[in-house]
């Protein structure tokens, strides 16, 4: 007779798996994926290391699942804002503030998700995440162009620039140290990032020249 799990057994297994993932996520938020050693995850989750391997055969399997859960949560937050019934530029600013603000609040986790050297499998997951991320910005920019709020631009390129600029400003090699951000106030840094990105799409190349040409045409006509 085939063995069938009882409801209690299934619930216990699910609870163990959730505690393992929660513990791993906490460790990653504190020290990155490199800190998520299987023995430490098991200790914090309150399970034996051997038990942990029954749920996740390797550290890479565990880290990839943590990445998928956390990145999906972050992406859903941005996607929900992007789909709101509001003017495109309001949605863009809100998405920018949310993305950058959450990165400021959890810089170590943001570094782990976006820039920390990782295994090939996790790197592939990250690439898919970054592409989806850029699509959120591109969709809003498409709406802004259609509404006449910004000049026509290649929204895929612009979205890639925005999606890359924020992590570079906060967690890249040129980013200020944590104490510098704290000294300047996270709110000030956030305002500067949002202002830069908003100005970037408003001041598309050629816009100033076109305005100057029109001004000159009006001057000559008068």
Of residues 92 and 220, more confidently modeled: 92
pLDDT band at 171 (very low <50, low <70, confident <90, very high): confident
Q: Does 52 lie in the same domain as 18?
A: yes
pLDDT beyond 60 at 123: yes
pLDDT band at 195 (very low <50, low <70, confident <90, very high): very high
Q: Does 80 lie in the same domain as 33?
A: no
* CATH code (residue 33): 1.10.10.60
Q: pLDDT at position 207, please?
A: 44
Q: pLDDT at position 3, please?
A: 52
Q: Does 71 lie in the same domain as 44?
A: no
pLDDT beyond 60 at 44: yes
Asked whether residue 31 is domain-assigned, the answer is yes
Mean pLDDT, the chain, rounded, equals 86
Asked whether residue 122 is domain-assigned, the answer is yes
Q: pLDDT at position 183, please?
A: 55
Q: Does 120 lie in the same domain as 90?
A: yes
* CATH code (residue 180): 1.10.357.10
Domain count, the chain: 2
* Mean pLDDT confidence for 112-132: 92
Q: Does 118 lie in the same domain as 33?
A: no
Q: Does 177 lie in the same domain as 125?
A: yes
Q: pLDDT at position 74, please?
A: 93
> Cβ(4)–Cβ(93) under 8 Å?
no
pLDDT band at 11 (very low <50, low <70, confident <90, very high): confident
> Cβ(175)–Cβ(116) under 8 Å?
no
Q: Does 74 lie in the same domain as 53?
A: no
How far is 140 from 143, CA to CA, in rounded Å? 5
Asked whether residue 33 is domain-assigned, the answer is yes
Tokens representing 85?
Answer: 């019934």
Q: pLDDT at position 202, please?
A: 85
Can you give the three-state secondary structure of the chain, one letter per residue?
CCCCCCHHHHHHHHHHHHHHHHHHHHHHHHHCHHHCCHHHHHHHHCCCHHHHHHHCCCHHHHHHHHHHHHHHHHHHHHHHHHCCCCCHHHHHHHHHHHHHHHHHHCHHHHHHHHCCCCCHHHHHHHHHHHHHHHHHHHHHHHHHHHCCCCCCCCHHHHHHHHHHHHHHHHHCCCCCCHHHHHHHCHHHHHHHHHHHHHHHHHCCCCHHHHHHHHHHHHHHHC
> Cβ(158)–Cβ(138) under 8 Å?
yes
Q: pLDDT at position 212, please?
A: 46
Domain extent, residue 72, equals: 67-204
Q: Does 174 lie in the same domain as 73?
A: yes
Q: pLDDT at position 172, please?
A: 74
pLDDT digits (tens, 9 = 90+) for 135-168: 999 999 999 999 999 999 999 999 999 999 999 8
Asked whether residue 105 is domain-assigned, the answer is yes
Q: Does 48 lie in the same domain as 88?
A: no
Q: Does 194 lie in the same domain as 166?
A: yes
Q: Does 157 lie in the same domain as 95?
A: yes
pLDDT digits (tens, 9 = 90+) for 203-216: 554 544 444 454 45
How far is 188 from 52, CA to CA, in rounded Å? 43
Give 205's Cβ-side CA count (13 Å radius): 3
How far is 120 from 58, CA to CA, in rounded Å? 14
Give buried/exposed letters for 179-217 (b at 16+ CB in 10 A, else e): eebeeeeeeebbeebbeebbeebeebeeeeeeeeeeeee
């Amino acid at each position: 007779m085939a063995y069938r799990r009882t409801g209690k057994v299934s619930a216990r297994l699910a609870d163990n798996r959730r505690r393992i993932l929660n513990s791993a996520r906490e460790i990653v938020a504190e020290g990155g994926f490199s800190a998520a050693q299987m023995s430490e995850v098991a200790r914090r989750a309150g399970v034996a290391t051997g038990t942990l391997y029954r749920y996740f055969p390797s550290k890479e399997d565990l880290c990839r699942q943590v990445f998928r859960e956390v990145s999906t949560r972050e992406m859903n937050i941005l996607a929900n804002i992007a789909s709101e019934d509001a003017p495109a530029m309001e949605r863009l600013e809100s998405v920018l503030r949310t993305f950058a603000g959450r990165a400021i609040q959890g810089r170590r986790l943001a570094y782990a998700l976006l820039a920390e050297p990782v295994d090939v499998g996790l790197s592939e997951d990250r690439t898919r995440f970054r592409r989806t991320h850029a699509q959120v910005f591109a969709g809003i920019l498409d709406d802004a162009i259609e509404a006449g709020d910004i000049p026509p631009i290649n929204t895929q390129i612009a979205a890639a620039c925005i999606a890359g600029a924020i992590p570079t400003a906060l967690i890249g090699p040129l980013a200020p140290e944590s104490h510098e951000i704290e000294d300047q106030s996270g709110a000030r840094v956030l305002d500067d990032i949002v202002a830069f990105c908003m100005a970037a799409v408003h001041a598309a190349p050629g816009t100033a020249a076109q305005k100057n040409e029109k001004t000159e045409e009006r001057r000559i006509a008068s």
